[in-house]
Amino acid sequence: MTAASTGRTYALLVGDGMADLPIPQLDNKTPLEYARTPNMDRIAALGRVGRVLTVPDGLAPGSDVANMSLLGYDPAAFYSGRAPIEAASLGIPLAPSDTAFRCNLVTLRDGLMDDYSAGHIETEDARAIIEELQGVLASDRVRLHPGVSYRHLLVIRDLEEGRLDCTPPHDISGRPFEPHLPKGAGAALVCNLMERAREALRASPTNAKRRASGKKPATDIWLWGQGRSIALPTLAERYGLSGSVISAVDLVRGLGVLGGMKVRRVQGATGYLGTNYAGKVSAAREALSSENFVFLHVEAPDETSHEGSLEKKIQAIEEFDANVVGEMLRLLADMPGLRIMVAPDHATPVSTKTHHSMPVPFAVCGEGVNAGGVLTYCERSAEHATRLHTGASLFNEFIRGDFC
């Protein structure tokens, strides 16, 4: 019997980086515990709360690994790097000899990683800058591909094989960047590309306009998240389900493409505060009218955590709860076979401005889920759970099991 034959539908709602550590100025509550989240609390009260370890030992706690895990794939078996996943989203074919890199537009200043996103650069400006860099960096071995905001891709053919260590720029916010430049096999070529880009961006007309209007310039590119092409078994092959992914970021869209799901693009989805929540919910409802599964992802809690802004992180969590979780809960009355789960992919503590591999809380309610007696959703309320799920075991139970 396939999962589709049960008549259930499934909505997995992800607040990226939502989990955190206790914060003294919040009376040692976490932002998730402190924020007003009546809708996530309702999921907890209607169903079950537990913990899931989304980052296997030995892997870095990135959104690539963690979201792959939440979708039920074992990253230890499938993961090769972040950039190949984003390449799938952008429809960029990778030959066996190609290595894809995430290419951030960043602002470096006074020897520091001043801003990993170049002031959350607008996509229009970013695409203009990538076009400027094409004439400087592109060759028969090197290709640049524009993405959204600060997130782009660079592909190198026949890169020297061996270990290459590259640091995510959001891991070193406000810190000296030189100790974190690429090291290892192929580093000379990668660093040369970054240096040439810096020279070109000093004379960038787009940067000149940004400076004149008081915006941060994209002073550099930062290459990281490299890997070669990957393949994943599809949702239909694993569970006999059809599904959609809704996200503003190419990473999550790429996981949807690799998993054989439809990517529903929402105009005005930014990956930050004030994104088009209504459009995302509308797309999710449309997906569930004809499909079995939807993965709705919101990036803002993670972005505000990388900024180190406690106030903005709380705002992001409350926006997610009110505009996504609350609206999706309305479907329970009209779709009796619906099962809803809410979870972060990983923790992103505001205090460190980077990801953490600790277990994160999940809450699930709906068809086949009995109430477990927990009335709130947060890290502390999940500590009672006796079982620690892996991403793969939680997804399998979400789809096939009964939380009784």
Q: Express each pLDDT in 2-60 by its tens digit.
A: 555 568 999 999 999 999 999 999 999 999 999 999 999 999 999 999 999 999 999 99
Strands annotated E in 164-261? 164-165, 183-184, 220-227, 243-246
Return the exposure string of 55-92: e unless at least 16 CB atoms fall within 10 Å of the residue's CB, then b.
bbeebbbbbbbbbbbbbbbebeebbbbbbbbbbbbbeb
How many domains does one find in the chain? 2
* Identity of the amino acid at 396: N
Instruction: Give helix 391-400 / helix 63-70 axis angle, nearest 10°.
Output: 30
Q: Express each pLDDT in 266-285 by its tens digit.
A: 999 988 999 999 999 999 99
SS3 28: coil
Q: Mark whether 304 and 355 lie in a shared domain.
A: yes
């389900």: which residue's tokens? 241
Better-scored residue on pLDDT, 386 or 314: 314
Tokens for 57? 């030992």
Better-scored residue on pLDDT, 5 or 106: 106
Q: Express each pLDDT in 143-154 by its tens digit.
A: 999 998 999 999
Q: Mark whether 137 and 29 lie in a shared domain.
A: no
Q: Where are the alpha helices (DSSP H) in 259-321?
A: 277-288, 300-306, 310-320
Whose CA is closest to 393, among 73, 34, 93? 73
């009546």: which residue's tokens? 38
**Per-state percent for the chain, helix, strand, coil, to nearest 5:** 40, 25, 40
Q: Mark whether 261 and 190 lie in a shared domain.
A: no
In a domain, 312, yes or no: yes
In a domain, 87, yes or no: no
Say what the pTM is: 0.86
pLDDT for the residue numbered 250? 87
Say yes or no to pLDDT of 404 above 70.
Answer: no
What domain range includes position 347? 3-79+231-400
Instruction: Report, as an integer, the average pLDDT of 239-268.
Output: 95
In angstroms, the CA 184 to CA 177 distance is 17
Whose CA is closest to 166, among 177, 180, 154? 180
Cα dihedral 75/43/50/20 (nearest 10): 70
Q: Mark whether 321 and 201 lie in a shared domain.
A: no
CB atoms near residue 99 (< 10 Å): 24
pLDDT for the residue numbered 5? 55
In a domain, 329, yes or no: yes
Whose CA is closest to 363, among 352, 349, 373, 353? 373
Say yes or no to pLDDT of 100 above 70.
Answer: yes
In a domain, 135, yes or no: yes
Q: Express each pLDDT in 319-363 by its tens digit.
A: 999 999 999 999 998 998 999 999 999 999 999 999 999 999 999
pLDDT for the residue numbered 384? 87
Q: Mark whether 223 and 268 lie in a shared domain.
A: no
Tokens for 404? 């009784």
Residue 149, Ramachandran bin (φ over 0: left; ψ between -120 and 50: alpha; else beta): left
Strand partners, 113: 108, 173
pLDDT for the residue numbered 79? 93
Q: Mark whether 200 and 304 lie in a shared domain.
A: no
Strand partners, 220: 106
SS3 220: strand
Percent of the chain residues past pLDDT 90, beyond the cut? 92
Q: Which of 227, 261, 294 is the last residue of a domain?
A: 227
pLDDT for the residue numbered 119? 95
């940004």: which residue's tokens? 210
**Burial of 130 by CB count in 10 Å (0-12 exposed, 13-18 middle, 19+ buried)?**
buried
Q: Which of 196, 227, 258 is the last residue of a domain?
A: 227
Residues comprising the chain, all counted? 404
Say yes or no to pLDDT of 1 above 50.
Answer: no
CA distance to 16, 181, 209, 223, per residue, from 104 (Å): 19, 13, 20, 7
Q: Express each pLDDT in 126-141 by its tens digit.
A: 999 999 999 999 999 9
In a domain, 85, yes or no: no
pLDDT for the residue numbered 4? 55
Q: Express each pLDDT in 198-215 by its tens digit.
A: 999 999 999 999 999 999
pLDDT for the residue numbered 48? 96
In a domain, 38, yes or no: yes
pLDDT for the residue numbered 386? 83
Strand partners, 263: 245
Q: Which of 211, 227, 243 is the last residue of a domain?
A: 227
CATH number, residue 244: 3.40.720.10
CB atoms near residue 47 (< 10 Å): 23
